[in-house]
């Protein structure tokens, strides 16, 4: 993926809002990559952190995979 080499940073948009249930309010989240427009709906802040971490790990792994293919 050329994008990983072109940009030394990443941008994620996190939208969050509270929805009132019958007994309690719950937080809802949408994590979006503004370049690819990929969105993930999440219901827990810890899941938002894990999703961002997975995306960054994929990006970090991409250069290593390209090096393996060249050899």
Mind listing the pLDDT tens digit of every residue in the chain (71 residues)?
A: 455 456 678 899 999 999 998 899 999 999 999 988 999 999 999 999 999 999 999 888 876 665 566 65
Residue 39's domain comprises 2-70
pTM for this structure?
0.71
CA-CA distance, 27 to 46, in Å (whole number)? 12
User: Are 26 and 43 in contact, with CB atoms under 8 Å apart?
Assistant: yes
Total structural domains within the chain: 1
What are the tokens at 19? Answer: 């929805």
Residue written as tokens 């030394």?
A: 8
User: Are 34 and 51 in contact, with CB atoms under 8 Å apart?
Assistant: no
Beta strands per DSSP E along the chain: 13-20, 25-32, 39-42
């Amino acid at each position: 993926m050329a994008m990983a080499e072109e940009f030394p940073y990443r941008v994620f948009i996190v939208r969050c809002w509270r929805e009132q249930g019958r007994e309690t309010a719950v937080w809802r989240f949408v994590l979006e990559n503004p370049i690819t427009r990929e969105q993930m709906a999440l219901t827990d802040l810890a899941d938002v952190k894990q999703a961002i971490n997975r995306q960054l790990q994929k990006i970090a792994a991409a250069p290593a995979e390209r090096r393996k293919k060249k050899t």
